[in-house]
Copies of this chain bind each other. A is one copy, B any other.
């Protein structure tokens, strides 16, 4: 399981920042590392509460910040006004297609795009730290459902 490795990384990150290893922080980190999909801070809180964990919304936000700086999660801007998180450990980099109808998230990966993107950045003297590439549209399923009609 990669979760163990992630928890070690998290412990190290806490140590480096002179933060204590608390049961809440570990529970949140574990939940994040075990997440298979994209989630919001609130959804994460709900999942933790459902599992009987005694954690508050505030601690979730604060811990996500640590996880973010430790590189264990990434932030995504799928919906405006809310941030989605995604576990980063043990996953190769990928980008997303969002179905505007059913909100389904499809992941994709393209070495060709990454390469060209790097080239564009270099041409501007720009050093890329992170990037986000998101396509919004209709997924196969929703296209089928609404038929191949020409009208919206």
Contact = CB atoms under 8 A, between A and B. Distances in A.
A135 B117 contact: yes
Interface residues of A, number: 35
Given A80-B77, A117-B113, A121-B97, A136 B127 contact: no
Contacts of A117: 110, 113, 133, 135
Q: How many copies does the complex hold?
A: 2
A138 B113 contact: no
A140 B125 contact: yes
Nearest to A111: B116
Interface of A: 75, 77, 80-81, 83, 97, 99-100, 106, 108, 110, 112-113, 116-117, 120-121, 124-140, 143
